[in-house]
Amino acid sequence: MIKIQKKPLIIINPGSGMMPVNYVVSLGLDLFKENFSIAKSFSKEDTKEIISQNSDKHDVFIAAGGDGTVHSVAERLVNTDKVFGVLPLGSGNGFAKEFGFNINPHSLMYSIKKAEVMPIDVKWAFVS
């Protein structure tokens, strides 16, 4: 187990999936109280800027969206000491399913709060 020193940052794609942004915020408030931040990302460029501006303030970055959002956040955290969390809100959620995530948002946020992490190897595949 790791010790989370800084508050998590939830990077949410408000156009992804069926879950409203206010529900994600209420989950954060329920579990982390005031000890979390949230940022809306509308593009890969937004995500890059959000992570760049918040790297010193947060040690956990939670991608709240579909596989595109997950990819955008993950590619910025590769080879860092940051913890990457996924709150799958997309229609397919292939990454979350592949790793056996429970898709219940409350359970996932609780796991993040308890700092239940697993290391993963990162391999990039380019398919044309």
Q: For 42-93, what is each residue's pLDDT tens digit?
A: 888 999 999 999 999 988 898 888 888 988 999 999 888 888 888 888 778 8
Query: What CATH number does the domain containing 103 carry?
Result: 3.40.50.10330
Q: Is residue 125 scored above 50 in pLDDT?
A: no
E strands, the chain, where? 9-12, 37-40, 60-65, 83-88
Residue type, 124: W
Residue 101's domain comprises 9-113
Are the C-beta atoms of residues 107 and 86 closer than 8 Å to each other? no
The structural domain count of the chain equals 1
Tell whether 98 is covered by a domain. yes
Tell whether 118 is covered by a domain. no
Tell whether 74 is covered by a domain. yes
The H or E element spanning position 88 is strand 83-88
Backbone angles phi, psi at 2, to 5 degrees: -105, 160
